[in-house]
Structure 1
Amino acid sequence: MTGDPGCKVDFYLLGSPRLDPDQLACKLAMMAWERGHRVDVVAEAAHAERLDALMWSSPEGRFLPHAPAAAGDVAPVRLGTEPPADADLVINLTQRALDISPAWRRLLEIVPHDPAEREASREKFKTYRGQGLAPDMHEMN
């Protein structure tokens, strides 16, 4: 698939080593769920397992209702290794740009603070721009 101009892409640039990408992903998923969005988090398999454990207690004192995407569960937040076709908000934690589904309203990318890990995010940004999208950047300090 190619980019759908109706999908809004946001990059969250972590400006400090104190900020944890996984904690931010949980916070963003919680905020989206509370606003009634169906959220899919896409990550590599081992990373998805760590996120599953984290979502039981993050943000602190909260529970983020989630399930593995492969389970076919209708949980409001799903964790998977492949991009979904039917979510309206996707958080991509992989190193690769995703093919945008026409159903997606938003795609969130988290840019790690570590300069060595930022190159993949730069490539994703270029890929989305090449698909006719206009990603926005948000500094997180």
Structure 2
Amino acid sequence: MNIENKQIAREELNKFILSLNNESNNGSIVIVEGKKDVEALYFIGYEGNIESYHHFRGTTNCVDFCSINYKKLILLLDFDIKGKTITKKILSQINGKFIDLKYKKKLLRITGGRILKIEEIKSFYLYIQKNKHQD
């Protein structure tokens, strides 16, 4: 990734985080798979509502908690088979209008498919910060 592409990725990732924080301020929650995913999102600037899927004892508990306490559920699960399986489980138990998958798609586009796990966003963030002073 050249310096220009890193600059574009930085700008897009900043917009992504601002938008995600705004969603949280408007009553949304982000669900990720595990603790490292939570830490990675906080590292890159996310400050909003977030829970780990594995914090709940099953899909039903996760869905019930989110639908009672939040207006929208933003899924940022890993891009691997496990993440896809959890996404399908959640989608099968809830109204699709309540769930937002666009952020997952945006993240995939911003990173150019370079990450498979949400926790890797921290490494990607550090990578695109390199050579920033040369821009």
**TM tier, shorter chain?**
0.3 to 0.5
Higher relative contact order (CA 8 A, sep 6+): 1
- The two structures have a TM-score, normalised by structure 1, of 0.40
Report which of the two structures shows the higher radius of gyration computed on alpha carbons: 2
Q: Which has a greater percent of strand? A: 1
